[in-house]
Amino acid sequence: MSPQLADTLRVIIDLALASFLLYKVIILIRGTKSAQVAIGLLVLLVMTYLVRLWDLTVTSWLLEQFWLAGILLLVVVFQPEIREALAQLGKSPLVAKLLFSEKLGFLEEIFETLDDLSRRKVGALIVLEQETGLKEYVLSGVFLGAETSKELLLSIFQPGSPLHDGAVLIGPDGKAMAAKCILPVTQGAQIAKAYGVRHRAAVGLSEVSDAVVLVVSEETGRISVARNGRLDPDATLESLAAELRALYQAKAKKSLLRSMETSATGGRRASGQ
């Protein structure tokens, strides 16, 4: 590709993206009070350009101070629109993947681990902590505090490894918090008759917390998932991966919106003072 063609394509893409974003902003604020604010800001933007063009020093300085202090004000004023825009962006699978793929990389490591262990019929027990704190179970095992990776998990569950027995606990941030953790065992008669200790422990923890617990059977290689006191013994890796990605993407979006609300609340308090 020639440099001239590359430059032309870059300009076209730049203009297309800018036009799309401008169109979305107009659609988002049309008919709201924020539309009036946006018009006022547009007028000030034109004034700023003209003042600089005419080299009006004092007025230019005043407008510069407004823009410096106005960024926080813009976040407060347009908070509902910003939230709505983020919500709409989050609905797009492609955008969600781009925004959260780095934070959710630990899930892919877990999926690859499950696939490997399932094919080799190596037993495993992995706990994904949710809202309910699991500190007591972390303390029952060997502390890791490490980044979750396929290599780490495979080394833990390798037969003969000193950490093989018990569960690996993954924290809400995706880090491997501890291994060889001892979990409560369910007293349900049906589970006790049909399954071994790993499956009973998975169900037991899901009965007392909102954790998602993944199990690989060393007898059949099947992947099971326990949550809310129930065991799904026939979970496919594909369906499980899709469900967990959706769960963690939703959590990441909520966390992002919550942090924006906190920032906006702090901004309102600061402006009130």
59-99, pLDDT tens digit by residue? 777 767 666 665 666 666 666 666 666 666 555 555 555 55
Of 9 and 181, which is predicted with more confidence?
181
pTM attached to this predicted model: 0.62
- Mean pLDDT on 95-114: 76
Residues paired with residue 58 on neighbouring β-strands, in sequence order: none
User: 243 or 269: whose pLDDT is higher?
Assistant: 243
For the ranges 48-52, 99-103, 199-203, the maximum mean pLDDT occurs at 199-203
pLDDT of residue 248: 87
Higher pLDDT, 34 or 227: 227
Q: Which of 3-17, 141-155, 190-204, 243-257 is predicted most confidently?
A: 141-155
What is the spatial distance between Cα 200 and Cα 7, in angstroms, rounded to a whole number? 62
174, pLDDT greater than 70: yes
The answer to whether residues 236 and 114 touch, using CB atoms and an 8 Å cutoff, is no
pLDDT recorded at residue 90? 55
**pLDDT of amino acid 44:** 66
Q: How far apart are CA 168 and CA 188, in angstroms?
A: 23
Q: What is the pLDDT of residue 193?
A: 76
Residue 209 CB partners (closer than 8 Å, separation 6+): 129, 130, 132, 134
Q: Which of the four pLDDT bands, split at 50, 70 and 90, describes residue 271?
A: very low
Residue 140 CB partners (closer than 8 Å, separation 6+): 178, 181, 182
Lowest mean pLDDT among 9-13, 36-40, 129-133, 192-196: 36-40
Mean per-residue pLDDT, 130-151:
94
pLDDT score for 231: 92
> What is the tens place of the pLDDT at every residue in 209-219?
999 999 999 99
Q: Give residue-wise pLDDT tens across range 196-250.
A: 899 999 999 999 999 999 999 999 999 999 999 999 988 889 999 999 988 888 8
Q: Mean pLDDT over all residues of the chain?
A: 79
**pLDDT tens digit sequence for 250-264:** 887 776 666 655 555
- What are the structural domains of the chain? 3-99 (no CATH), 105-250 (3.40.1700.10)
pLDDT at 8: 79
202's tokens: 């998975």
Strands 175-181 and 223-227: unpaired
